[in-house]
Structure 1
Amino acid sequence: MGITAVPQVAHRFVEVDGVRVFYRETGPVGAPTLLLLHGFPSASHQFRRLMDVLGNDFRLIAPDYPGFGHTEAPAGFTYSFERLADVVEGFVDALGLDRYVLYTFDFGGPVGLRLAERRPAAVAGLIVQNANAYAEGLSEMARDFIALTPEVEGAREKAAELLVLPVTRSQYEGGTADPTLVAPDGWTLDQHFLDQPGRKEAQVDLALNYHTNVALYPKWQAWLAEHRPATLIVWGRNDIFFPATGAHAYLADLPDAELHILDTGHFALEDKLPEIAPLIADFLPRAWDGKARAGDRKESIGSVSR
């Protein structure tokens, strides 16, 4: 019985405006390129299994933002979503990436949409996984989080309550049908990085800056409606932050998007990789060649297409 070769994954750093950006890269140069933008409180390690599955056929690149993972930011770095997007923009320049499909998850949504808005010609397509851009996609818990701004008394202390191990773990296991399918490695590594010196302060700064993303929702929606990028939406229906109404909301501006709602939670890749990876493998070549457009609409609810 033959065994499929596992792709080599390189682990590198590149300097971007004083930030030493760590990233993972696999796949042949010249293949359709997927730029993987991670969420909170994770980093590029959340894409390790996806890279192993798709790395023989596609080029996958996953950076860590400042304040996350192995990336090293200088003292005095301003932690805002605008600055994260600045660093990712510098990162794609440093690697010479002039065209890519964006994978946006959680924080990757506001980072990726800022990048897309700045460089629309570079975006060959979007893969949206529990990355919200619509008011309809905000749960009550998410709205409480967004209400934490620098002017609110006790906001920093409230935001810091999210940065402990039980909360980190719950983001992975919450909403899953079978928590035994979720490896403990992800939340354990996330918490390791959260507990490093200065990291919790950086995360609190970002939490208090999150309201700037919601203010930009109308602008991003207008961008989506104007540019109509080929889009694959995969969404865990039981996400306590971003319910599935946020996935469906994209269809107002992207009526030809391919939509799949899965019976899982926020970190959908953790237990639904066997379902999500084939969807990505099917979508990427079509988006890259400009064929995932009107008339190509697919939709599935749960695990079975209909």
Structure 2
Amino acid sequence: MIPPIARTAHRHIDVDGVRVFYRESLPERPDAPVLLLLHGFPSASHQFRRLIDVLGSRYRLVAPDYPGFGHTEAPSDFVYTFDRVAEVTRGFVERLGLDRFVMYVFDYGAPVGFRLAEHHPERIAGLIVQNGNAYEEGLSEAARAFVALRPDTPGAEDVVRGLMTLDGTRSQYQGGVADPELLTPDSWTLDQYFLDLPGRQKAQVALALDYHTNVERYGRWQAWLREHTPPTLITWGGNDAFFPEPGARAYLRDLPEAELHVFDTGHFALEEHLPEIAPLVADFLDRVWH
């Protein structure tokens, strides 16, 4: 018997003048567990489309595009900071009426998601962390150099723009993977299409130069984890050049009951290990929600 494949709706909703695009699975049960999927750089909600296909008939998976990413349309005067992106994402959650959900945070999704959690801890039924860093030991030397960039750093904008070429985007997917043939080139090709839209690289430069504000909040987020101890599943690509494996293990210091799985792959672990990760997510949702 073929497992049911999700029906997925593709919608827009206005949040404070931002036309937020999102994908939402239509599960068979109206009371299905809710999983909020928060994407990373340089991708968008499309990075979760295979996970939504696999799990979306049993669970309500909701995946927005942030301002500056994917199909979301922001005003020309939008100020691109992680605080502002998180505000829009929080408004999106409220507009959809998501009062309780498990949160999946990946890469940029971690600083966005932890800002949401700080404001509304009561909404977080559980946490899935996939290469989303919140610890100093999870920063590689390359990541530390990236975090050190400021608007007045000589050549800072050129460094960031160098990551947004097709070669730079592709390398974020291919770095550290065990079997490159399992990666679809559609992923980085689509990412690059969005990066090359008018105004997008300027937006990404602004966010990159604001990234240090996330590291400055690590202590607050770790304190939040210790205080609220959300049920947590950690699935991590151990060969991530930016957020290496020690960043995954560091969560266990504040969440000793967390479930940890490290895979022999790079940053975009779902691309190569969806067959292993999807069942872990399903089992976690079943246990946490009930």
Question: Aligned partners of 1:180, 1:84: CA distance in 2, in Å?
Answer: 34
- Structure 1 letter corresponding to 2:23: R
1:241 Cα offset (Å): 0.2
Find the residue that maps to 1:14 and give its secondary structure.
strand
Question: Counterparts of 1:45-56 in structure 2 under 5 Å?
Answer: 45-56=46-57
1:299 aligned residue: none
Matches within 5 A, 1:147-296: 147-289=148-290
Q: Secondary structure at the match of 1:204?
A: helix
Measure the CA separation in 2 of the matches of 1:285 and 1:274.
18
- 1:15 aligns to what? 14
Residue deviations 1:263-302, cap 9 Å, x none?
000000001000000000100111112xxxxxxxxxxxxx
Structure 1 SS opposite 2:40:
coil
Q: How many residues align?
A: 288
Q: Do 1:148 and 1:159's aligned partners in 2 also have CA atoms closer than 8 Å? A: no
SS of 1:66 mapped into structure 2: coil
Deviation (angstroms), 1:6: 1.6
* Residues 1:129 and 2:118 are matched in the alignment: no
In the alignment, what sits opposite 1:296? none
Per-residue deviation, 1:146? 0.5
**In the aligned structure 1, how far is the partner of 2:145 from the partner of 2:31?**
44
1:58 counterpart letter in structure 2? Y
Partner in structure 2 of residue 3 of structure 1: 2
Tell me the SS of whatever aligns to 1:25: strand
Shift of 1:7: 1.4
Q: Contact conserved, 2:34 with 2:62, CA < 8 A, in 1?
A: yes
SS at match of 2:243: coil
Whole-Å separation in 1 of the counterparts to 2:81 and 2:189: 25
- SS of 1:259's partner is strand
Give the distance between the partners of 2:154 and 2:176, measured in 1 at CA. 32
User: Structure 2: which amino acid aligns with 1:54?
Assistant: L
How far apart, CA to CA, are the structure 2 residues paired with 1:214 and 1:88? Answer: 20
Correspondence 1:27 to 2:26: yes
Q: Please, what is the CA RMSD of the aligned residues?
A: 0.7
Amino acid paired to 1:169:
R
In the other structure, the counterpart of 1:107 is: 108
Q: 1:172-225 CA distances to partner (integer Å, 9 max, x unpaired)?
A: 111110000000111000000000000000000000000000000000000000
Match of 1:292 in 2: none
Q: Partner of 1:90 in structure 2? A: 91
TM-score (norm 2): 0.98
Partners of 1:263 and 1:240 in 2: how far apart?
13
Q: Secondary structure at the match of 1:158?
A: helix
CA–CA distance in structure 2, aligned partners of residues 155 and 172 of structure 1: 23
Distance 2:111 2:4 in 1: 35
Paired with 2:129 and 2:3, the residues of 1 have a C-alpha distance of: 28
How far apart are 1:4 and its partner, in Å? 2.7
Alignment-mate amino acid for residue 4 of structure 1: P
Task: Give the letter aligned to residue 171 of structure 1.
Answer: Q
1:75 matched to which residue of 2?
76
Amino acid aligned to 2:92 = F
> Partner amino acid for 2:41?
F
In the alignment, what sits opposite 1:58? 59
Name the SS for the 1:168 alignment partner.
helix
CA shift, 1:3, in A, is 2.5
Distance across 2 between alignment mates of 1:84 and 1:128: 19
* 8 Å Cα contact 2:238-2:263 kept in structure 1: yes
Task: State the shift of 1:23 in Å.
Answer: 0.2
Between the aligned partners of 1:125 and 1:106, the Cα distance in structure 2 is 17
CA contact (8 A) 2:9 2:26 kept: no
Per-residue CA deviation, residues 148-192 of structure 1 (Å, 9 max, x unaligned), is 111212211221111100010011111110000000111000000
Q: Structure 1 stretches of 5 or more lacking a match?
A: 290-306
Structure 2, unmatched stretches of 5+, are: none
State how far apart, in whole Å, the 2-side matches of 1:172 and 1:190 are.
11
Partner Cα separation in structure 1 for residue 175 and residue 154 of structure 2:
29
